[in-house]
Each structure stands twice: as structure tokens, then as C-alpha cells.
């Protein structure tokens, strides 16, 4: 089904699919995008294989990285060789080079992407029996507006088990613990209007605790197979895909993000930067998505904001989301971008523009800076205090492995 233009000059989008992978920074994962005008550190050696180990990347490690006494892992991947499919998507659609996460590790990033808020700055228990918070998710916000939705989390339901409203029998009908359901539904053209998809086990691209040379290849293949299923199901022209990663993963990045919201810790009783965290790559792609670099600052809260704008939802009720910069403007009036190569194809990267574009500095962050992180907006008039559980140690962690 071909897209048609809306009155506002944007194609009719019937579906948004969000993919959330793990642990990357912009400098680390996409150095070849520098030739396309992205703000990427250039000139160093490129790794032909990904680092086969994990490194510290919790709240304490990130604070020390931002303080300057912990270096992070200063490495860059040969993305055209190691993740050629992702590189093709980034060059042929929209690559966001000033997107950022929370200055911490996984769970805060995932929860920000789902609802623009995080009640924690650490990883609670991943299985059953962990905490639940009565805070809104983009899923039931869409449902209340009459839209269909589905979520494909990990086998244990992470991170959706932390949302009280997603632990009801009615909500559980939309949460698919079998990763294969995505392929089946997409190929049949029956995916709902809003979809969030986490990686199947072993395909999230998180650096391994034990050597596993194929961990990134499996992650890319998982996304590739899922996108191809949407293409085969006839959904390319009217689907917008958002691909991003949850947190910095302990990798260095040379661009300082705006100091927007702070939380106190043992070293900084008056507060220290939590938002923005380090830059994280984000790609917006689909048949109607424009080609180019989006240089605007935006955080994971811009993901639900973009969903709201593309699908015509009412305001979310969380200021950080409702006031977030949106990526919906990257969607053009006509679907003109060709679908990506099918799995198993040889990826031929497009020729970089000539002359080489100069990176365009981002406009200033549109809101206030240096503010205390506000209380969380809960459901039914509830509020929760801003997270205070991000432990910061007096000393930085040991230098990361090379």
C-alpha cells in the first residue's frame, strides 16, 4: 500500500516499529558516517572485529567518565565491514548524531524509551519479583486513543515487567515472549500500529561476559530479518522504523551532551549530570524517511514523542515527553526510499557525498539546563521521587580492557 501525503506535508504512516539494542556510543559504532557529515571522531584505527568483552558502564562509571578520571573504551568499529546492514540504513535514511541516553546503564535507557521517565538509575532484578511502578507507558497511551500495539520483549518480559499497567491480563495479551511471533505477524502484514521489539536471547549486541565473537553479527541479523519480514508483508512504505541502543556501554564518545537534569550522589550532593548521558546512535528509516543527518539534540524521551506525532496521539502527560524534540519531521510527503537488501544479499554501501559535508553544530538545547531531575509523573495523580539509587563510588573503576 503506497503512502499518501497528509495536509501537513508528511506521508500517511500506519505503523511505527522501535528496535532497542544494547550498549553503543556514536563514535564507537558509526565512524564511517563522518564522511556523510555526522559529528564523529575520525582518524584512528578501525576494529575489524568487535571488542569481545564487557566493561564498566553503570552510573558510577559514567559519572567518572564525565568527570574525566575514567577514560571509557576509546575504540571505533569498522562499521561498514562489521555491521554493513546498519551502515546502509544510516546512509540511506536519517542518522541522528546528537541523540543521547541517560548517564547510567540498561534499565534507565529502556524505561526512558518506553515512557520518557526512569524511576531508577541502576538495573533492578531482571526476572520476576522485581519492583513495579505505576507510571505510564506509550503502549496503553496508544491503546486509550484507539490504536493497536504489541511488544516483543526478552523471554523474561524485560523491561515491561516494571510497569504495573503492563502486568494485567489485558495488557499481557499484547506482549509476545516468543520472538518468532514478530516475523510471523510482520510477514503476514498483521503487525499492529505501534510495535516495540527487543532482541531475542543472545542477539541484543551487549558485549559478552565470556568470549563470543558473533554477538554483534547475531544482533544485526535479528533486526535485518525483522525488517525484511515487514517488507515482505507489504509494510515498507507506511512504516517508520526507529533503531537505537539503550546506553553507552562503557565506550568513549568525544561530544559533550547538554547538562539538562542532575541527580545528587556521594561525590556531588548538589547534583551531577544524568540527562544527557553519552551520545547513542539512532537511525530513523523507512520508505518515507528522508536521507540525511539529523543534528538536533534529543534523548530517549524523543522516541515516545515521535510515536505520538507520527500516529496522531494526544499529549502524553509527562512534560519530558510532551516537550521533547520530535523526529517526525524526518518523514517526507511521499514514500520514495527503496527497501533495504534482503537477508543474505551483499551490501553495497552508497558513495559518500562529494565534497565531504562539514558537520553542522546542533541548535542549543531548547529547554532549561542544570535542573534537578523532576519527580516522576505516575498514573491517577501519583508522583514518584526522582531516582536516587545511582551509587557513585569515590574512585573510578579500573581502566577498561583494550
Measure Cα distances from 374 to 4, 269, 369 in Å.
40, 16, 13
Beta strand spans in 168-281 (E) = 194-198, 239-245, 261-263, 272-275
**C-alpha cell at position 294:** 539529523
Question: For every one of its 402 residues, what pLDDT tens digit does the chain have, with 9 covering 90 and above?
Answer: 223 334 356 778 999 999 999 999 999 999 999 999 999 998 889 999 999 999 999 999 999 999 999 999 999 999 999 999 999 999 999 999 999 999 999 999 999 999 999 999 999 987 777 899 999 999 999 999 999 999 999 888 999 999 999 999 999 999 999 999 999 999 999 999 999 999 998 999 999 988 999 999 999 999 999 999 999 999 999 999 999 999 999 999 999 999 999 999 999 999 999 999 999 999 999 999 999 999 999 999 999 999 999 999 999 999 999 999 999 999 998 999 999 999 999 999 999 999 999 999 999 999 999 999 999 999 999 999 999 999 999 999 998 877
> What is the enclosing helix (H) or strand (E) of 21?
strand 15-21
Specify the pairing of strand 15-21 against strand 282-285.
unpaired
User: Quick one: DSSP state of residue 98?
Assistant: T
Distance CA 91, CA 365 (A): 25
Beta strand spans in 199-246 (E) = 239-245
Architecture of domain 15-384: 3-Layer(aba) Sandwich (3.40)
CA atoms within 13 A on the CB side of 44: 15
End-to-end CA distance of the chain: 49
Residue boundaries of the structural domains of the chain = 15-384
Distance CA 284, CA 292 (A): 10
Buried b (16+ CB within 10 A) or exposed e, 2-21: ebeeeeeebbbbbbbbbbbb
Task: State the burial class of residue 312 (Cβ atoms within 10 Å of its Cβ: 0-12, 13-18, 19+).
Answer: exposed
CA 60 to chain centre: 21
The DSSP-derived string for 328-394 is GGGB-SS--PPPPPPTTSPP-PPPPPSSPPPPPPPPPPSS-SSEEPPPEE-GGG-EEPPP------S
Distance CA 101, CA 274 (A): 9
**C-alpha cell at position 393:** 563510588
Beta-bridge mates of residue 377? 383
Q: Look at residue 194 and give its three-state secondary structure.
A: strand
CA angle 350, 336, 91 (to 5 degrees): 25
CA atoms within 13 A on the CB side of 388: 12
Amino acid at each position: 500500500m503506497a503512502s499518501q501525503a497528509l495536509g501537513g506535508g508528511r506521508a500517511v504512516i500506519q505503523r511505527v516499529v522501535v528496535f532497542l539494542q544494547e550498549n553503543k556510543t556514536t563514535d564507537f559504532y558509526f565512524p564511517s558516517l563522518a564522511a556523510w557529515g555526522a559529528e564523529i571522531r575520525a582518524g584512528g584505527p578501525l576494529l575489524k572485529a568487535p571488542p569481545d568483552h564487557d566493561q564498566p558502564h553503570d552510573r558510577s562509571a559514567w559519572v567518572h567518565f564525565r568527570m574525566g578520571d575514567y577514560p571509557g573504551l576509546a575504540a571505533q568499529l569498522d562499521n561498514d565491514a562489521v555491521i554493513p546492514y546498519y551502515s546502509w540504513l544510516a546512509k540511506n535514511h536519517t542518522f541522528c548524531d546528537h541523540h543521547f541516553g541517560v548517564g547510567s546503564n540498561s534499565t534507565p535507557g529502556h524505561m526512558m524509551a518506553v515512557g520518557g521517565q526512569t524511576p531508577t538509575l541502576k538495573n533492578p532484578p531482571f526476572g520476576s519479583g522485581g519492583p513495579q511502578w505505576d507510571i505510564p507507558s506509550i503502549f496503553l497511551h496508544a491503546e486509550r486513543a484507539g490504536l493497536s500495539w504489541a511488544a516483543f520483549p526478552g523471554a523474561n518480559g524485560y523491561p515491561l515487567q516494571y510497569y504495573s499497567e503492563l502486568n494485567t491480563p489485558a495488557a499481557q495479551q499484547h506482549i509476545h515472549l516468543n520472538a518468532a511471533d514478530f516475523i510471523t505477524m510482520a510477514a503476514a502484514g498483521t503487525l499492529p500500529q505501534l510495535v516495540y521489539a527487543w532482541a531475542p536471547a543472545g542477539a541484543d549486541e551487549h558485549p559478552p561476559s565470556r568470549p563470543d565473537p558473533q554477538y554483534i553479527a547475531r544482533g544485526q541479523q535479528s533486526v535485518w530479518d525483522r525488517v525484511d519480514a515487514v517488507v515482505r508483508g507489504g509494510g515498507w512504505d507506511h512504516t517508520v522504523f526507529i533503531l537505537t541502543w539503550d546506553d553507552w556501554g562503557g565506550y568513549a564518545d568525544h561530544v559533550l551532551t547538554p547538562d539538562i537534569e542532575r541527580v545528587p550522589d556521594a561525590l556531588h550532593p548538589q547534583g551531577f549530570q544524568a540527562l544527557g548521558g553519552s551520545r547513542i546512535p539512532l537511525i530513523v528509516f523507512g520508505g518515507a524517511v528522508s536521507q540525511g543527518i539529523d543534528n538536533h539534540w534529543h534523548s530517549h524521551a524523543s522516541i515516545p514523542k515521535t510515536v505520538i506525532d507520527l500516529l496522531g496521539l494526544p499529549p502524553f502527560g509527562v512534560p519530558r515527553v510532551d516537550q521533547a524534540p520530535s523526529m517526525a519531521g524526518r518523514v517526507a510527503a511521499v514514500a520514495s526510499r527503496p527497501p533495504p537488501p534482503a537477508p543474505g544479499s551483499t551490501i553495497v554501501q552508497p558513495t559518500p557525498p562529494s565534497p565531504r559535508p562539514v558537520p553542522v553544530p546542533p541548535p542549543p538545547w531548547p529547554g532549561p539546563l542544570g535542573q534537578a531531575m523532576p519527580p516522576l509523573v505516575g498514573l491517577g495523580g501519583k508522583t514518584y521521587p526522582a531516582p536516587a539509587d545511582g551509587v557513585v563510588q569515590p574512585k573510578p573503576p579500573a581502566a577498561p580492557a583494550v
